[in-house]
């Protein structure tokens, strides 16, 4: 039931791009994305609802393929501040349980 | 400041003791949650309350008892603490269970690091 994220870890140089994937074996109502910096709380990035939408703010965007039950988070022209652990969370129905993936650790180096 | 606040931030206690963690949100959200994050960073939902009503109760030992006196507060009481209870416990809140377009997701508190020795 837990979504699977890939890769588990990625190291980037400033300015490089990255993609983090999140897959579920079950039909999904929505996908959330969060970023957690070391020793801090997870911070909400965006929600995607079924319907195959794509969202973005600043240089971080995401897509949701409802048919494949997959979502991808795109980080372009990465900055040092993007470092942290990224979690996807999936909801199978409105008002259901938000189940998180195992996380992807992203490190951006100068 | 609008936020989800948890107390205490750190809790070190001996096995067998009973402890409580408190959470308050002033965001006007309807739903509150407890999540446990283990040493491998896995975030697992424990409980959820909507307007003081328990709506999610995961497979958690009954030593853990949540209580929501009103929709702005959610506390977690843990009896007979065990070494395996050591983790970071996060409180979170959401409006309308984070549904619908324009939803703002979950807002997490800063966490309580519980260490059982």
pLDDT above 90 as % of chain B: 74
Work out whether strand A60-65 and strand B10-13 pair parallel, antiparallel, or are unpaired. Answer: unpaired
Give the nearest partner residue to A100 out of B43, B58, B107, using CB atoms.
B43
Q: Does A53 have pLDDT greater than 90?
A: no
Q: Is the pLDDT higher at B95 or at A14?
A: A14
Instruction: List C-alpha distances in Å: A104 to A81, A86, B112.
Output: 15, 5, 22
| pLDDT (0 to 100) of residue B101 | 42
**pLDDT tens digit string along A79-88?**
999 999 999 9
Lookup: tokens for B52: 């003081």
Q: A78 vs chain B: nearest CA distance in angstroms?
A: 23
Q: Does B100 have pLDDT greater than 50?
A: no
Beta-carbon separation of B43 and A87 below 8 A: yes
Of A3-17, A41-55, B6-20, least confident by mean pLDDT is A41-55
**pLDDT tens digit string along B44-97?**
999 999 888 898 888 889 999 999 999 999 999 999 999 999 999 999 999 865
Q: Does B102 have pLDDT greater than 70?
A: no
Residues B48-55: contacts with CB under 8 Å, at least 24 apart: B48/A97, B49/B74, B50/B97, B55/A95, B55/B31
Beta-carbon separation of B99 and A87 below 8 A: no
Q: What's the whole-number mean pLDDT along residues B24-31?
A: 92
Exposure of A70 in the CB half-sphere (CA atoms within 13 A)? 8
Q: What's the whole-number mean pLDDT along residues A40-69?
A: 84
Is B104 an interface residue toward A (CB < 8 Å)?
Answer: yes
Q: What's the whole-number mean pLDDT along residues B18-36?
A: 95
């Amino acid at each position: 039931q837990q979504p699977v994220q890939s890769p588990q870890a990625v190291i980037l140089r400033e300015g490089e791009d990255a993609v983090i994937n999140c897959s579920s074996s079950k039909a999904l109502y929505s996908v959330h994305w969060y970023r957690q910096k070391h020793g801090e709380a997870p911070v909400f990035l965006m929600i995607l609802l079924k319907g195959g939408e794509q969202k973005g703010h600043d240089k971080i965007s995401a897509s949701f393929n409802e048919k494949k039950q997959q979502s991808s988070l795109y980080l372009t022209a990465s900055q040092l501040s993007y470092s942290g652990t990224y979690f996807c969370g999936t909801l199978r129905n409105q008002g259901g349980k938000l189940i998180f993936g195992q996380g992807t650790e992203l490190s951006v180096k100068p | 400041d609008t936020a989800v606040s948890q107390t205490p931030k750190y809790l070190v206690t001996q096995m067998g003791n009973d402890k409580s963690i408190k959470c308050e949100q002033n965001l006007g959200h309807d739903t509150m949650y407890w999540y446990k994050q283990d040493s491998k960073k896995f975030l697992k939902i424990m409980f959820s309350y909507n307007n003081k009503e328990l709506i999610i109760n995961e497979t958690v030992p009954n030593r853990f008892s949540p209580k929501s006196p009103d929709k702005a507060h959610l506390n977690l009481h843990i009896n007979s603490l065990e070494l395996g209870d050591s983790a970071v416990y996060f409180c979170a809140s959401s409006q309308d269970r984070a549904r619908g377009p324009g939803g703002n997701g979950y807002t997490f508190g800063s966490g309580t690091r519980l260490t059982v020795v």
